[in-house]
Structure 1
Amino acid sequence: MSDLLLRDVRVVALDDAPPPHDGEPVDVLVRDGVVTGLGPRLERPDGVPEVAGEGRWLIPGLWDQHTHLGQWTLASRRLDTIGVRSPEDAAALVAERVSAEPGRPVIGWGHRPGTWPREVTVAELDAVSGVTPVVLVAGDGHHGWLNSAALAALGLGAREGVVRENEWFAAYDLLTTLTGDDGTTPAAYRETLTRAAAQGVVGLVDFEFAGGPADWVERWSGCDLLRVRVATYADGLEPAIAAGLRTGAPLVAGDDRLTMGPLKIISDGSLNTRTAWCCEPYADAHAQEHPAGAANLPAHELAALLARAHMSGLQVATHAIGDAAVTAALDAYETTGAGGSIEHVQLVARADVARMAALGVRASMQPGHLLDDRDLSELIWPGRGERCFAFRWLLEAGVRLVLGSDAPVSPLDPWLAMAAAVHRSADDRGPWHPEQALTPREALAASVDERPTVGVGSLADLALLDHDPLAPADSPREAAAALRSATVALTLVGGEIVHEAR
C-alpha cells in the first residue's frame, strides 16, 4: 500500500450530506492505503509523494458488480456479430471470415436473435463453413449457434438448432480447445484491467463461467492491478467449502485485493431466448417450448444450494431475469436466511420489491441491458415495461442497488451504465419509462460499492475526475451525455496509482 498526498481536490458527496468543506478544494492524505487526513493545506509528511489535483473532483473508485472477465478479455479477439440483423447476414459474415482465414476456427460474439424472423439451423452454418468449426455466441451469452464441426469438436452431439442454457454454459470451458491460444493469459487480463482502471474502476466481481478462485490465484502475480471478487458456480461449491473459502476472504495471503466472492446460481434464462421465467406467457408463447419461460433448477435444489452456501460462509448471487424467477429466488433467500444479491432483476413484481428490501437482498443490475432490450421487451413482454429495470421502485423501497455491466453482454464501462440508468434511451427517442430513472447522484452512488463519499478512514480506492459528475444539467439526456463523456485523471487502489492520464 502506498502513501500519497492529493492536493486541491473537490470531494463529491454521494449521500444527502453536503460535500466536505462545501465542495471547496481540499487536500487528501493517504497512509498505508487509507485516507487519514482531509482538509485545506495539509502538511505533507516526510517521504510522502504529492500529486496536484488542480481542483478536480474526487469520488470513491468505481466497481463493476457483474462481469465475465475472461469472455470480455476475449471479445476483442472474436468475430463481432453485434451488427448482424438476420441469419442470412450472420452466414455471410461467417463465409467471409472462413474465406479470409481458411481452416481457422471462428468464434463470434454479440448478435441478438430475439427479433430475427425465424429460428436458425446448423445446416445453414455448415453450408458456408465446411469443416471449419464455427461458434456464434449470442449477445446475452445464453446460447450458441454452432456448425456440425464445432458440435463434434466440443462433444455436444448432432442437432438442428442452437445449444441453450445449462448445456451451453457447460460448453464455455471448451471453447478455448478450438483456438489453442485462448487470449486469456495474465498479460491479456492485465490489459483488460488497465483499460478498466482508465475509466476509474477499482474493482469488479468476476462471474466467469470457467475457472474460478484457483485460476485467479495462478494468474494473480501477472495481473494484480485492481480488486477482484471471484465467484464460484455450483460445480465448484464443495471444493471451495473444502478449501475453507468464505466470501470476503483473501485468496492470496497478505493481499486483500483478490478475495472470494459469492456462489453464483443461474436460476432462469434470458429475454432473447424466451427462457427467462415469467409469471405471464410471452407474446409469442405459441412458438415456445415453455410459453412463460422456465426455471433452470427446481425450487428445492435452489434452496439447498443457498442453504449450503449460507452455512459455509458464502453469500449467493442468484441470476433471475423474469419476475417468476425473482419471486422464486426471494422465496429461497427467505427460507434459508442466506444473504447476497439477485442479479439482473430485469422484470419484477411490485410486491417483490418490498420483499427484497425486507430481506436485505441486493439488486445487482445492468442498466446497459435496457438499451439493448427495450424494443424486444415491448414486443414479447407487452404491457410490462413499467416493471422492467425498476430502479426507482427499488430505491424508494430501500433496496440496496448496485450496478454493473455483465461484460461482454454490455461493455465494461461504468459511465455507460450510469448514463443508461439516468436517461433510459440509446437514441433520439424519449426515455423508456422515465418514472423509473435514476438521478446522476443515485447512479453514481450505486457504482461505488456502497461507499457514500471519501472521508477519513476511507479505503484509498479513489478516482479523480476532470469534470464534476453531478454538474447541473437541463435534462436527463444532457446529464447522461455528460456522464458518457467523463474522463479520469487518476485512479488509486489501496493508495497505489493504477492509472494516470498523460
Structure 2
Amino acid sequence: MMIRNALDHGVLIDIEVTNGVITAIIPATGGFHSGDFDAEGDEVLPGLWDEHVHIRSWAQMRTRANLLPADDSDAVVEILRKHPADGVEPIVGHGLRWALWTNPPRMSALDAVSTTRPVVAFSMDVHSVWINSVAAREFDVVGIAGESGILVEHDAFRVLSRMSDIDDDVMDTLIAEAFTAAKAQGIVGITSFEMESLTDWDRRIAKGIDLIQVRASLYPERIHEAFNRELRTGDSVGGRVEMGFLKVITDGSINTRTAYMHAPYEGEASVGVLNTEVPELERLVREATNHGVTAALHAIGDKANTVVIDTFEKVGVGGRIEHAQMVLPEDVQRMATLGLTASIQPAHAVDDRDVAEKLWGDRVSYAYPMKSFLDAGVKLILGSDAPVAPLDPWHTIEMATARTGDGRPTWRPEEALTRSQAIKASARTTIDVGQPADLIFVGPDGVIPFE
C-alpha cells in the first residue's frame, strides 16, 4: 500500500507500507492509484505511546466527580453534593490538591455530603484519600482516618483497590471505552501500571479488547505470575498485550508530603517516607532481573531517586525511574552513565508548580528536569500518569513544551522541550524504512490513525 501526500517536517512524501512495515519513503509524486491512502497534506507522525497509565483507575475516574477546580474543602463538598450517583453507591471524586488549602480536611465536612453513603475523594496523585465516617466504618479505618478523614500511601491504596473491585464485565467495558477514546487521540499503545493480574489481560484478550497495544506491568505481590509463565519484559502475553515491568513504589508524592527527601520539607520536620526499604528493593530488582523482567521504580523525592539509582547501580542493571520529579544534578549524570530511562509525566510539573515552590523552596531549581535529562544523555519517555492527568498525548506534549497551563509565564523555561523532542519522547517508532507503520495523521479534521 502507498500512503500519498503526507507532510513530514514541511516536505510532502509518499510512504510505502508492506505487511505493516515501512518499506520505502520517497518525495510525493502527486500520483494516486486505487487502494492508496491519501493523507491530503496532513502531518504524519509516529503513533504515540502513553508510557505511564493506571488504566483501570483511569477508566473508572472518567465517570467520577472532577475535584480539580476545588480550592478548599467547601468547594469539594459542593461538587460532591451535585455529582449524580445511585442511591446506595459511594459518592466518589478525584483530583484533590489539599496541600494548598488554608482550611485542613475534616471528616465531618464530608459527612455533610452524606451520612448514609460512603464519600470518597481521591487526591490528584492518588497517594491520599479523604473519606467520610460511613466510608471509614465500611473500610475499617476509623482509628487510622481520625478526625481529618485523610488516609495516605498504603492505606489510601487499599481504599483504591476496594473501589476498583467491580464486576469484571463492567470494568472491561469501561476499559474498552477508554481505549477507543485513546486511539482517537493518536495513542497506539500504553504502559499500564495497574494493580491487577495478568489473568485480567487474558480475559480482555479473549474478549477482543485489543484496539491499542498494552505493556502490562505487575507489582511485587503479583510478579511471580510472570515468573511462573516465564514471561520476560517484551514477551507476548497474547493478542496485542506484552509483558511490561516490575513496578515498585519507593516513596510517596509531593502533594501528600510523602515524597522522600534528603532534607525536610520547607517549614516542616518531615522528609517524607520510604515505602520500600533498601534491602527489599535490591532483592526485588535482582529477582526480577534474574527472570528477565525490567524494573520500573517509582521515585519522586530527591533522596528516593538517589536510593533508586544506587539500587540499579548495585544490582548492575538498567531500568526505568517513574516520575523522577526531583533529581540532584549529580544523579542526573549517574542516570546517563548507568543507562537508566527517565519516565516523566510533564503535566505534573504544571499541576504541582505551586505546591513544589511551597514545600521544596529553592530546590525546585532541580525539579522536573526534562531538558536536563536530554542534555545529559538520559533516555526520556513521556506519559500522563492517568488518572492523575488526562490520558491525552497532546496535553502531555503541550505541558512538556509550554510548562504552564493557566496563563502564567512558563515555569522554569530552561527545562521546556521542543515539540520535536516531546513527540520523540512520546513515540516508540520513527518514520524510517524498516520501522513499523504505527502512523497517525494530524490535520484540520483532528487525528486519523493509519489502519
Report if TM-score (shorter chain) is over 0.5.
yes
- 1:454/1:385 Cα in 2 relative to 1: closer, same or farther (>3 Å)? same
Please say if residues 277 and 321 of structure 1, whose CA atoms lie closer than 8 Å, have aligned partners that are also in contact: yes
> How far apart in 1 are the matches of 2:170 and 2:316?
37
- 1:57/1:258 Cα in 2 relative to 1: closer, same or farther (>3 Å)? same
Question: 1:65 deviation in Å?
Answer: 0.4
- 1:97/1:430 Cα in 2 relative to 1: closer, same or farther (>3 Å)? closer
> How far apart in 2 are the matches of 1:95 and 1:412?
26
Question: 1:152 deviation in Å?
Answer: 2.8
Please say if residues 299 and 305 of structure 2, whose CA atoms lie closer than 8 Å, have aligned partners that are also in contact: yes
Please say if residues 4 and 32 of structure 2, whose CA atoms lie closer than 8 Å, have aligned partners that are also in contact: no
- 1:350/1:260 Cα in 2 relative to 1: closer, same or farther (>3 Å)? same
> How far apart in 1 are the matches of 2:219 and 2:108?
33
Counterpart of 2:78 in structure 1 is 92
The range that moved more, 82-91 or 273-282, is 82-91
Question: 1:132 deviation in Å?
Answer: 0.6
The range that moved more, 325-334 or 31-40, is 31-40
Question: 1:145 deviation in Å?
Answer: 1.1
**Cα shift readout 1:142-193 (whole Å, capped 9, x = no counterpart):** 011112222332344443131111222233221145xx56885333222211
**Cα shift readout 1:18-58 (whole Å, capped 9, x = no counterpart):** xxxxx532221222211122224689999x83211112221
Question: 1:131 deviation in Å?
Answer: 2.0
- 1:107/1:332 Cα in 2 relative to 1: closer, same or farther (>3 Å)? same
> How far apart in 1 are the matches of 2:226 and 2:141?
28
1:113 corresponds, among 88, 95, 98, to 98
SS of the residue 2:222 aligns to? helix
Structure 1 segments (4+ residues) deviating >6 Å: 41-46
Q: How does 1:10-21 map to 2 (within 5 A)?
A: 10-12=7-9
Please say if residues 343 and 382 of structure 2, whose CA atoms lie closer than 8 Å, have aligned partners that are also in contact: yes
Please say if residues 425 and 431 of structure 1, whose CA atoms lie closer than 8 Å, have aligned partners that are also in contact: yes
SS of the residue 2:342 aligns to? strand
Counterpart of 1:278 in structure 2 is 261
One-letter code aligned to 1:148: S
1:457 corresponds, among 423, 434, 451, to 434
SS of the residue 2:312 aligns to? helix
- 1:157/1:235 Cα in 2 relative to 1: closer, same or farther (>3 Å)? farther
Question: 1:355 deviation in Å?
Answer: 0.3
Q: How does 1:360-375 map to 2 (within 5 A)?
A: 360-375=339-354
> How far apart in 1 are the matches of 2:169 and 2:91?
14
Q: How does 1:100-499 map to 2 (within 5 A)?
A: 102-158=87-143, 159-160=145-146, 161-177=149-165, 184-209=170-195, 211-220=196-205, 221-252=207-238, 255=239, 257-286=240-269, 291-449=270-428, 451=429, 453-466=430-443, 487-488=446-447, 490-492=448-450, 497=451
2:39 is equivalent to residue 39 of structure 1: no
**Cα shift readout 1:421-467 (whole Å, capped 9, x = no counterpart):** 11211122211111111111111111112x3x312111111111117
> How far apart in 2 are the matches of 1:188 and 1:95?
24
> How far apart in 2 are the matches of 1:295 and 1:114?
20
Please say if residues 98 and 255 of structure 2, whose CA atoms lie closer than 8 Å, have aligned partners that are also in contact: yes
> How far apart in 2 are the matches of 1:143 and 1:364?
22
Counterpart of 1:476 in structure 2 is none
> How far apart in 2 are the matches of 1:96 and 1:45?
55
TM-score where L is the length of structure 1: 0.84
Question: 1:383 deviation in Å?
Answer: 0.5
SS of the residue 2:361 aligns to? coil
**Cα shift readout 1:126-149 (whole Å, capped 9, x = no counterpart):** 343112111111111101111222
Please say if residues 176 and 182 of structure 1, whose CA atoms lie closer than 8 Å, have aligned partners that are also in contact: no
